[in-house]
Structure 1
Amino acid sequence: MKIRNLLVSGFSLCVLGAIPQPAEAQFFKKISNMLETVDKALGGDASKSNTNTEKTANDAPQTGITVNGIHQATLYDGKTTMKCPVVTSNTKVISVDVSPSIYVNMASYSDGVAFVKVDKKCFFVDTLGNKVLDYNYGLPFMREYPRFYQGVCPAKKGMARNMSLIDKTGKVVMELPVYDCTNFVDGVAAGFISVQKGYSKVTKVVYFNTKGEPVYNNLIEEVKFGNLETPRPLCEGLAAHYSYSKQLYGFRDENGSLVIAPSYSKVQNFNDGLAAVQTASGKWGYIDKTGKMVIEAKFSSEPGPFSEGYAVVEKRDGSKCYIDKQGNIAFDGLRDASYFHNGKAFVRLNNSARYSLALIDKNFKVVSEFHTNLNSLPLEDAVSYSGDDILISNCFVTDMGDMILGAERLQSHFSDGLTYCVVWQEGGKSICGCTNRKGELVFIFKESEF
């Protein structure tokens, strides 16, 4: 929109009733000529320049522009049209005998395939939507769905005593001596084994690689009680490790050597050189990679991870603030906040302004504001990152918060170039399937007609 169009529309509200009709026509003709000259002086299209108009609480949302130096993001607000994934002529259809939006559950891709559960039927599909393997094995209790890693996946057939490793054809590659085991993480899985001890049997935890070979023999220990925990990933060279005998967490390296002895009730992964840990007192603090407590355990609520020099912590009154690596408050008075990523962080400002959701930079200055506040969802749950992808609530956004692609339900970040989503249509109907980054549904699940 050119400057003359913007200003003439504004002038019309002020002078329409004050100028007689013939004079009004002459007046606007002069104004139009004057603003034509202004447009040319500014290079033609003034919409390419930052707008510096004042906004009020009653203004209609203006998106895709800059107001007073702050970007107005096009995050979905229930009124703005969301760019949703669409069916194309190349979309593959997978027929199912149930309502997909209710009964289809799908995990993220790993090793080129993803686990799908349709009511009581389970199978793996590739990135084209071709069924690779019917999964006729038991599902783990209270753990993530089975996942392939380097061509193998742990599985247990019916009433079989022990677990096996299967390949993508369903062939048993190797029998395992464990009666329960996790998925592989960084090439290592954990399992429970039953061994004879005197006149009775005890449970021990063991670790093995994708060839079924034992690893981390120094971490084998007797299990007092508790569920099997999936190994934590290596983060900055260390992985959180749970000791079943001590029922405490420590940290190990990639070889399984304990670098930080199990001493904490709960721990987060290392990030930005520090890890949040919960001590026996129930309070949280931060340790470095030597195990030294560098920020004292004084936080009653679990804090956020450090990222780009700052972490989000909660005060006793429920407000949030950013602290630096010395434990000093760097920015205070927030209703909610997310961790920094590529120099920016999503926050909810602690005021009654309409634009309560904003994006700030490392100087804690607002650089973008949003016409929605997602009040029902904490930012730690609403905002997540994966590489350069930013997912906020149900929508992928740019680094300034503008919508790229969204759906009523998004499964997760892209893996192998796809993510599962549910798109609602008019009349209460829905489309469920996997979309690529272009917003093209590669394949969908559709209830069979008969």
Structure 2
Amino acid sequence: MAIGQFAKGVAAGRLDPEQYAENFSDLHEPFTEHEARVEADRCYFCYDAPCMNACPTQIDIPMFIRQIATENPLGSAKTIFDQNILGGMCARVCPTETLCEEACVREAAEGKPVQIGRLQRYATDVAISQDVQFYERAPRSGKRVAVVGAGPAGLACAHRLAMHGHDVTVFDAREKPGGLNEYGIAAYKSVDGFAQAEVDYLVEIGGIAIENGKALGREIALSGLVADYDAVFLGMGLGGVNDLHAEGEDAAVNAVDFIAELRQASDLSALPVGRRVVVIGGGMTAIDAAVQSKLLGAEDVTICYRRGKENMNASVFEQDLAAANGVTIRHWLAPKRVLTEDGKVTGIELEYTMLDNARLTGTGEVLILPADQVFKAIGQTFASSALNGSGPVIALENGRIKVDAEGRTSLDRVWAGGDCVAGGEDLTVSAVAMGRDAADSINRALGA
């Protein structure tokens, strides 16, 4: 069912116009200069830096915090960008509570870590708002590299390749670059068009051309890219959606599409949402869909997850955020049937689950929840069909592209990184690290 279709009980304009702006305002207010310095002074500047070891991009966190404490936010931003050119967005969307901040010594000692994410945002925002560029391109190498996907992995790869002096063309299927940063995160996590501002900042280094509306397997083919370019990086993310394996699931809405439409909406009051909403899933997408449904005016929003609270991929912080916004989270429930009447959703039938010798199984007992809108948010899959028919088949592992430690695929001169590769953590910061490291590997292979 298309998101924009009005089903029974699904309506737009549930709130007063001014309420939408308030509901979708910045989740975390940015630090002022004084607040940043006070928070930076809480850092112990640990010699072994457990926070740094917990960061997938290995940012020197004690260093950048010390630079803030000594009134050098631009120096702090450069320390961050040296490792993570998308540090501004990562500061907004990273689950810092399970990465750097969980490892913070203050967390162990006091239960209140240094707010590393907000400090990182403060420093990077200063640099981006002032348009301070820290990097220059090396002399042009004469080499050309194609990057497929303008998401975190592709953009990080493109920037590092441009630093090395290579000419980069980034192809992306959507109308705007940014990938999940632009289309896939809750609107209250990235406000005021920051995703595009960060892309604009990144490409100012030069040598990067972005061509939108060009998808692999549609407008471009891998065989053609390999023939026309000296190297290729694949960072197209995940294009498929897992099925509920429930009767009538065609009436359910893909939560990823819902979030994308919301992110691109110019008028949130025109976006329809159900009065009673059920979200199936236990990850970040489920939380984002549920919370934003509530913020759009849904009266009753419930997340149903097939396992226990401790098994949810969404962090405790995100689960608490959902609860604080009036979302109910119910565990040990698996969908069996989406109920409809005259083609319109009326509810969902779920079966209680349990573990039987570590195997999830249904108990036979069912529950029916009334609903006029059901979202499925049970994970995405890699759509490998775009790789087939355009040359030798790339080796896959567990349904995603198989790569070595440097991001090299089974095809000569083709690298990959981000969510589309096997072993990916489905985190923005991890995708950035893979794109950056693959670019260095490509540079070595090109002999530049």
- Normalising by the smaller structure, the TM-score range is under 0.3
| TM-score normalised by L of structure 1 | 0.23
Which is richer in helix?
2
TM-score by length of 2: 0.23
Larger strand percent: 1
